[in-house]
Structure 1
Amino acid sequence: MTIDSSVVTAFTPTGKLRASINLGNPILASKSAETGEPFGVSVDLARAFAAQLGVELELIVFDAAGKSVQAVSEERADFGFFAIDPLRGETIAFTAPYVLIEGFYLVRDGSPVKTNADVDQPHNRVTVGKGSAYDLFLTRELKAAQIVRAPTSPAVVHTFLEQNLEVAAGVKQQLEADAKKASGLRLLDQRFMVIQQAMGTPKSRGPAAAAALGAYVEEMKASGFVADALERHGIVGASVAPTA
């Protein structure tokens, strides 16, 4: 993939390529307990993109999706990895998705909530990670239930338990992992949404930059890079998105 020098300049106004990395979604990135350094599918994609541009990479790390999105929207980062959402799309030019992730609900074993259809009731309080794709989606979709926002997605189950809430919503794998740390919790049987994880850059960088990023994502899917990264990092429950 050949990238024009003007596109490289558009991506690197500070001289470095700044990648916004969200540690709030373990499917995308995590922090090494040994080194403290971020790793994961999004980090691999960021490094490979910097290599294609022939520039130095700087990772700007956040603990929540909302903060990561804001950094790109405000051009404190040059690109990032986000769930596609119309609200975010006002300032960010998204690629096609590279990974599909399932969103699920978590409840207590004795909860009367048995199916997704039972969630949207006035007596239910649903906790989500503030600014996450689930927050944006459920804010639009839920008409009767109350939304309670945890500071970050990894804090959802803690907030759910601490405040004795009725439902928790988030990434299936995160909820499953957190549920193993506490007894008496269960996931509902069906996903309530599929998150389309994409790369994005500020719209102000221009259509050529957006097109180059989009072409890069298609190349990484078609070459098997994304599938290999998912396998290498032991990610289950996420799948490579179809080519655009």
Structure 2
Amino acid sequence: MTDKARAELAPTGVLRAGINLSNFLLVTGRSEKSEPVGVAPDMAKELAASLGVPVTYVTFKSPGELADQAGKNVWDVGLIGAEPQRAAVMNFSAAYVEIEATYMVPPGSPLKSIADVDKTGVRLVVSARSAYGLWLENNIKNATLIQVTGLDGAFNKFMEDKADALAGLRPGLLKDLEKHPELKILDGKFTAVQQAIGCNKPATEGARYIAAFVENAKKSGLVASLIEKHKVKGLSVAPLA
């Protein structure tokens, strides 16, 4: 490891890790000190340990809010989905975990497959600025995308407006299904949200270091062990880059 990587990633002598609290798969709770607990905080802690510095957590209610603080000396690394819009302001590693994103539809819906959703006249609700929402912005050609703030807001809009489909991460939709068993989740996925570690541009040495750290974490079994430790369903180790 070069001193330059440490200087770029932890200029204050502490690794300030930006954590997205809305991803309940990667942040599964809070410690007694009210620090975030889960796969993402543990990955940040391991990264800090490899650099030989302590970690501190900077928490955000959404990934969009975390990305908004890129380059503003608020955090040193951010653990969020690596989307093209965010890559404009952050250098990302390859993904360390991935989560299937799919659709939920009302009872008796004519939409039977993923491909059925992107049709003219289909009203598709999504949580604004989520990683899969950004993917839909880039890829939906015919359906009408209705963006709503927050996961609960999106679900409520879907139900209240009797929309045709709700986009979401499969584990989150499964939780909704427990409360509303009349709804249906479509088979397959429209994308897999890949969660990565990003740093502020132009930290080139830092970005190289993070990329190598993530590959090693996948190869060594660290990521798999963290998923097991936190008993997370619906999260899988991303393929090696």
Q: After TM superposition, is the score higher than 0.5?
A: yes
CA distance in 1, matches of 2:148, 2:56: 28
Is 1:133 aligned with 2:131? Answer: yes
Report the equivalent of 1:237: 234
Report the equivalent of 1:227: 224
CA distance in 2, matches of 1:7, 1:198: 18
> For residues 176 and 44 of structure 1, do their structure 2 counterparts lie closer, same or farther at Cα, with a shift above 3 Å needed?
same
Equivalent of 2:7, from 3, 6, 9?
9
Equivalent of 1:211, from 203, 208, 213?
208
Equivalences for residues 43-54 of structure 1 within 5 A: 43-54=41-52
Matched length: 241
CA distance in 2, matches of 1:14, 1:122: 52
Is 1:120 aligned with 2:118? Answer: yes
CA-to-aligned-CA distance 1:115-151 (integer Å, 9 cap, x gap): 1122112322212121111111111111221112221
CA distance in 2, matches of 1:138, 1:169: 9
Residues 71 and 77, structure 1, Cα contact 8 Å, conserved in 2:
yes
Report the equivalent of 2:84: 86
Report the equivalent of 1:102: 100
Letter in 2 for 1:76: V
Equivalent of 1:24, from 13, 22, 27?
22
Structure 1 residue runs without a partner (length 5+): none
CA distance in 1, matches of 2:111, 2:61: 30
Superposed displacement of residue 197, structure 1: 1.7
CA distance in 2, matches of 1:85, 1:147: 18
Residues 20 and 72, structure 1, Cα contact 8 Å, conserved in 2:
no
Residues 20 and 71, structure 1, Cα contact 8 Å, conserved in 2:
no
Superposed displacement of residue 71, structure 1: 2.5
> For residues 149 and 33 of structure 1, do their structure 2 counterparts lie closer, same or farther at Cα, with a shift above 3 Å needed?
farther
Report the equivalent of 1:56: 54
Equivalences for residues 58-73 of structure 1 within 5 A: 58-73=56-71
Residues 157 and 175, structure 1, Cα contact 8 Å, conserved in 2:
no
CA distance in 1, matches of 2:240, 2:120: 41
Report the equivalent of 1:164: 162
Report the equivalent of 1:199: 197
Residue 84 of structure 2 aligns to a residue whose secondary structure is: coil
Superposed displacement of residue 168, structure 1: 0.8
Superposed displacement of residue 82, structure 1: 2.0
CA-to-aligned-CA distance 1:12-48 (integer Å, 9 cap, x gap): 2334211111122222213339774311111100111
CA distance in 1, matches of 2:45, 2:143: 41
CA distance in 1, matches of 2:202, 2:168: 31
CA distance in 2, matches of 1:190, 1:24: 23
CA distance in 1, matches of 2:207, 2:180: 43
Equivalent of 2:184, from 183, 186, 189?
186
Letter in 2 for 1:208: E
- If the length of structure 1 is used for normalisation, what is the TM-score? 0.91
Residue 72 of structure 1 aligns to a residue whose secondary structure is: coil
Residues 22 and 62, structure 2, Cα contact 8 Å, conserved in 1:
yes
Letter in 1 for 2:177: A
- If the length of structure 2 is used for normalisation, what is the TM-score? 0.92
Letter in 2 for 1:67: E
